[in-house]
């Protein structure tokens, strides 16, 4: 504006350059309303858009409107009216906005200068903000979502090689002055300053009565407007879809399409707001335009969900909040089962009473800002704002509720390196229409897959099994043998039950669980899925060898358990297992656990089946269940084995959950976890505590399960504060709870407990006076402590100060098994046996759970303390202490020690000390002797970069690229179970 005064400048019309995203008409229609108000105020508006001209010219007839037909971004590419193709969206954006970026910027800067633009407005084209900055022109975005939010999920799920797109978009947005935010908004942390405005809604031109008169529709006719963004091509609309007395107005129908008599085709340039206001309800997909106008005109909205567009949940929440929405299941849309939804819509009373003049308000803000009015706070630099965006993004991912599909933001390891397999979000582009095709194959009779895409992938894989019977082929996931066995597993005319259970990351507690400690455990993203079919023996599809076995016995069909386990090649085991269920019986009673262990140990390649089939025996022995039908069972686990993240617990919990569901057993998550521990302790023969099974069964996504293992008292769920993040880094050294080191440390801890009890008993007898009276109060208190310690059930009930005062110096470093038995008889652990010839470490094994229990309590308390560097330092120190206590017990390993050392080097480097700290601590997890290291750090970009640097350094030193574990998912109890049925079962061979 040069040296002209503000008053003089106000007399001069302004020139606005208004960029419109290529995603759908909704953006163009709301731009129309803002642009119209700017033109009414006397300003020139140059609209840069790929939308048809009539969208603008039908509403704005003014020489001040200039249209420039240019597409600078593609939005989201849709495979059909209801499905976004995420990989295609990323590739199209790369082709449209990334590859030609330099020429786009040069062209736009030159064009902005040529029209002498005063101000740039973007809805919500990222590169427009950068072009404005390069041209020295201020810019503002007007939107309810931003493309960094949308594409971040696409990158993680479908195209990690496009991860730079999200960075670039967020950086572009960081150049704008502020965000004018529309209602129904998504998280948009890339914008530091925000101004909220009312709904932007197009005005009405005609009344309801006028529109109906023009269309020849009487007031006695119920009208539904079908609005799917102009993409209903190929849908076959039938007369019987509508109830009697209804008429459907169809938007965007092709000219060649013939419609039934109760469907009316609308012109392509028909003015939708007038038609909506003249209708009784709308049937369509959710978008900003449809939702805002439905709310404004109080029009009930029957909506069908779209796949993979993260704007939708937020708009849907707003629609349902104002009692304006009814959700229709997609298969009911496609099969014409419309009547109940339309009738339900007619009973709604939408209650939105908010403003609908957002276009006018936004235009006034734009004008005032262009004239020099300051609406913003003191802005930080672009890079700082981008960093804030990332930190806030991490906090937002913890918003509860599955519908708020907040993606893991920019520094997610999956998007950085593409290393993750089996994450709930790891759906490939080839599976982009999984949900739609699954519903064509199956119907869900019970349950909800909670939006978990790993579950959806598993369900869809079931549908393809029958096609593999005649032509199995090796894929990247399963071997030919696995495929062929799975293909012949189920009878498709019978119901199938599906359960899901995640692995867990041991944040604190570890090997102190069997000593009664408080533990803090987080369920991870990776999970095990199990599909079970209970079926009469005469209907079971038996494998040839199992059928031959029955025929040899000459008894006719008898109950058989058949199991297929995917991933056999990864662990060198057989992919299938089968047994007659009568093998679990001696007469009418279940066999002993000892005989079961011997049964599964006969063939090392099939020992794995104890984790799965063992659940059947435990249900028989502990609950008295008798299995008179056959059981077919498919196990598919994405929890990697031998990494210390409880792959075994996830298999046990998923297997028992599915079997219980198929047999109508109502078992609480806690009870189920305890039963699964019996599987591992008594059938498998691994002496684990209960925390693994409890976390897999009772855990919740993005929370720590707090539990006192005495034996399994869940205290509740602990939130991980938004500024803190937890990672797991795999050392590549195989971990096994059944390993000798873990068992010997456990035996040493139980030996220590018996020695403590013995010492306490002796001290107690010495403290009592001859007449049974206490000399004074202080001595009485000491005697009470000794009484408790003489009958100690759990080592963790002994406080560290009492241990140091009374027992630390008298506990032996180690004891030969025979010596211990000779003096104390038994260590009283029901799941381990003392080897008389072995030397067991006692002092370190007993000290660890006593101090670990204290450390876990301190860790839990610190999580709720004030946010500070001291808080993070203290949390990290507790992890380090735990790690070295493991090492004292003999449960360390070179790999885990190296990873912890790398974390320490990162933490104490000059770069970390000079600025904000990033990583603060690390520890070995679970049973130790290898496996995964838990790392805690600040929830920031720098922390993620440090973790990736540790991953690279570890590979350089060892040749092994560690798996990163991050993110979380719900436990089996929260998931429940699915009951599914094949729609058109193929003929059985």
Nearest-angstrom CA–CA distance, 732 and 9: 68
Q: In 814-868, which residue ranges form alpha helices assigned H by DSSP?
A: 817-824, 843-863
Residue 750 region by backbone torsions, left for phi larger than 0, else alpha for psi between -120 and 50, else beta = alpha
Nearest-angstrom CA–CA distance, 608 and 603: 10
Residues 6+ apart with CB under 8 A from 572: 605
Cβ neighbour number for residue 24 with a 10 Å cutoff: 19
Nearest-angstrom CA–CA distance, 948 and 950: 5
**Cβ(285)–Cβ(228) below 8 Å:** yes
Nearest-angstrom CA–CA distance, 537 and 210: 68
Reading across the β-sheet that carries 194-196, which strands appear in turn? 65-69, 44-49, 15-20, 119-123, 139-143, 179-181, 194-196
Nearest-angstrom CA–CA distance, 423 and 640: 12
Cβ neighbour number for residue 536 with a 10 Å cutoff: 13
Residues 6+ apart with CB under 8 A from 8: none
**Cβ(465)–Cβ(486) below 8 Å:** yes
Nearest-angstrom CA–CA distance, 739 and 762: 35
Nearest to 211 by CA among 223, 202, 229, 227: 223
Nearest-angstrom CA–CA distance, 944 and 126: 25
Reading across the β-sheet that carries 246-250, which strands appear in turn? 263-265, 246-250, 222-227, 281-285, 301-304, 325-327
448 included as an active-site residue: no
Look up residue 642 and give its DSSP letter.
Answer: T
Evaluated on CA atoms 409, 528, 659, 668, the torsion sign reads negative
**Cβ(469)–Cβ(615) below 8 Å:** no
Look up residue 555 and give its DSSP letter.
Answer: -
Buried/exposed code over 342-380 (b: 16+ C-beta within 10 A; e: otherwise): beebeebebebeeebbbbbbbbebbbebbbeeeeeeeee
Buried/exposed code over 129-149 (b: 16+ C-beta within 10 A; e: otherwise): bbbbbebebbbbbbbbbbbbb
> In DSSP terms, which residues pair with 505 in a beta bridge?
522
Cα 351 from chain centre: 33
| Element (DSSP H or E) covering residue 669 | helix 669-678
Cβ neighbour number for residue 102 with a 10 Å cutoff: 8
Coil, helix or strand for 265? strand
Structure tokens, 936: 């805690």
Catalytic residue, candidates 44, 454, 692, 829: 692
Length of the chain: 989
Q: Residue holding tokens 């993606």?
A: 407
Residues 6+ apart with CB under 8 A from 482: 564, 565, 566, 568, 575
Nearest to 503 by CA among 486, 527, 483: 527
> In DSSP terms, which residues pair with 324 in a beta bridge?
none
Nearest-angstrom CA–CA distance, 643 and 692: 13
Q: Annotated active-site positions, please?
A: 692
């Amino acid at each position: 504006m040069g040296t002209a005064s503000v008053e003089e400048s106000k007399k001069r019309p302004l020139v606005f350059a208004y960029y419109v995203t290529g995603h759908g008409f909704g953006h163009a229609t709301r731009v129309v309303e803002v642009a119209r108000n700017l033109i009414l105020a006397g300003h020139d508006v140059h609209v840069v858009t790929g939308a048809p001209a009539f969208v603008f010219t039908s509403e704005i007839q003014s020489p001040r409107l200039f249209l420039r037909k240019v597409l600078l971004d593609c939005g989201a590419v849709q495979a059909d009216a209801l499905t976004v193709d995420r990989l295609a969206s990323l590739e199209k954006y790369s082709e449209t906005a990334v590859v030609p970026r330099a020429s786009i910027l040069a062209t736009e800067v030159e064009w902005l200068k040529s029209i002498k633009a005063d101000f740039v407005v973007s809805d919500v084209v990222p590169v427009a903000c950068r072009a404005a900055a390069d041209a020295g022109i201020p810019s503002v975005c007007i939107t309810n979502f931003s493309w960094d939010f949308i594409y971040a999920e696409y990158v993680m799920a479908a195209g990690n090689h496009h991860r730079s797109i999200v960075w670039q978009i967020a950086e572009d947005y960081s150049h704008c002055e502020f965000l004018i935010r529309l209602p129904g908004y998504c998280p948009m942390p890339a914008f530091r300053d925000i101004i909220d405005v009312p709904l932007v809604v197009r005005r009405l031109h005609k009344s309801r009565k006028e529109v109906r008169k023009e269309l020849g529709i009487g007031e006695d006719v119920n009208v539904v407007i079908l609005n799917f963004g102009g993409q209903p091509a190929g849908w076959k609309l039938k007369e019987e879809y509508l109830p009697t007395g209804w008429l459907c107005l169809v938007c965007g129908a092709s000219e060649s399409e013939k419609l039934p008599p109760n469907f009316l085709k609308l012109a392509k340039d028909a003015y939708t707001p007038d038609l909506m206001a003249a209708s009784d309800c709308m049937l369509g997909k959710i978008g900003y335009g449809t939702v805002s106008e439905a709310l404004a005109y109080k029009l009930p909205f029957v909506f069908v969900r779209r796949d993979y567009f993260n704007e939708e949940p937020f708009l849907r929440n707003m629609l349902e909040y104002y009692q304006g929405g009814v959700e229709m299941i997609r298969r009911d849309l496609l099969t014409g089962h419309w009547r109940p939804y339309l009738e339900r819509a007619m009973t709604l009373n939408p209650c939105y009473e908010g403003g609908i003049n957002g276009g006018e308000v936004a235009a006034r803000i734009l004008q005032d800002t262009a004239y020099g009015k300051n609406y913003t706070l003191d802005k930080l630099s672009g890079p700082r704002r981008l960093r804030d965006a990332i930190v806030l993004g991490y906090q937002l991912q913890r918003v509860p509720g599955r519908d708020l599909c907040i993606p893991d933001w920019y520094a997610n390891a999956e998007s950085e390196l593409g290393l993750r397999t089996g994450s709930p979000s790891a759906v490939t582009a080839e599976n982009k229409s999984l949900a739609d095709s699954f519903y064509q194959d199956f119907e869900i009779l019970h349950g909800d897959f909670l939006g978990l895409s790993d579950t959806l992938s598993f369900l869809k894989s079931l549908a393809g099994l029958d096609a593999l019977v005649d032509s199995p082929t090796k894929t990247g996931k399963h071997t030919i043998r696995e495929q062929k066995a799975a293909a012949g597993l189920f009878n498709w005319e019978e119901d199938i039950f599906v359960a899901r259970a995640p692995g867990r990351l041991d944040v604190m507690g570890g090997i102190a669980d069997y000593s009664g400690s408080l533990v803090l455990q987080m369920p991870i993203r990776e999970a095990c899925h199990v599909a079970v079919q209970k079926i009469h023996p005469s209907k079971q599809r038996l494998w040839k060898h199992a059928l031959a076995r029955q025929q040899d016995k000459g008894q006719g069909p008898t109950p058989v358990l058949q199991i297929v386990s995917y991933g056999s090649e990864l662990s060198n085991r057989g992919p299938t297992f089968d047994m007659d269920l009568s093998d679990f019986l001696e007469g009418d009673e279940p066999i002993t656990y000892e005989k079961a262990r011997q049964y599964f140990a006969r063939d090392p390649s099939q020992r794995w089946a104890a984790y799965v089939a063992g659940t059947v025996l435990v249900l028989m022995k502990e609950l008295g269940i008798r299995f008179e039908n056959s059981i077919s069972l498919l196990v598919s686990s994405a929890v990697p084995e031998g990494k210390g993240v409880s792959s075994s617990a996830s298999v046990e919990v998923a297997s028992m959950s599915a079997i219980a569901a198929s047999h109508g057993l109502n078992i609480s998550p806690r009870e189920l976890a305890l039963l699964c521990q019996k599987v591992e302790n008594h059938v498998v023969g691994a002496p684990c505590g209960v925390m693994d099974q409890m976390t897999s069964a009772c855990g919740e996504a993005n929370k720590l399960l707090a539990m006192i293992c005495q034996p399994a008292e869940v205290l509740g769920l602990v939130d991980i504060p938004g500024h803190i993040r937890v990672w797991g880094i795999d050392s590549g050294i195989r971990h096994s709870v059944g390993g000798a080191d873990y068992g010997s440390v456990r035996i040493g801890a139980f030996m220590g407990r018996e020695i403590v009890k013995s010492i306490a008993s002796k001290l107690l007898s010495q403290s009592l006076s001859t007449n049974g009276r206490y000399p004074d109060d202080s001595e009485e208190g000491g005697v009470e402590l000794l009484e408790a310690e003489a009958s100690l059930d759990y080592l963790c009930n002994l406080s560290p100060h009492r241990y140091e005062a009374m027992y630390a110096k008298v506990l032996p470093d180690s004891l030969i098994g025979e010596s211990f038995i000779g003096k104390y008889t038994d260590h009283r652990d029901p799941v381990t046996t003392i080897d008389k010839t072995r030397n067991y470490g006692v002092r370190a094994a007993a000290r660890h759970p006593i101090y670990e229990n204290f450390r876990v309590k301190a860790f839990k308390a610190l999580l709720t303390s004030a946010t500070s560097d001291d808080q993070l330092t203290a949390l990290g120190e507790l992890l380090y202490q735990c790690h070295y206590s493991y090492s004292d017990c003999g449960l360390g390993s070179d790999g885990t020690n190296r990873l912890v050392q790398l974390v320490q080097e990162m933490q104490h480097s000059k770069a970390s000390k000079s600025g904000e700290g990033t990583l603060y601590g690390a520890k070995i997890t679970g049973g130790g002797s290898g496996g995964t290291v838990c790392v805690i750090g600040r929830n920031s970009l720098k922390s993620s970069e440090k973790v990736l640097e540790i991953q690279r350094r570890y590979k350089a030193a060892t040749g092994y690229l560690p798996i990163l574990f991050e993110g979380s998912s719900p436990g089996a109890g929260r998931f429940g179970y699915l009951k599914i049925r094949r729609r058109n079962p193929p003929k059985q061979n």
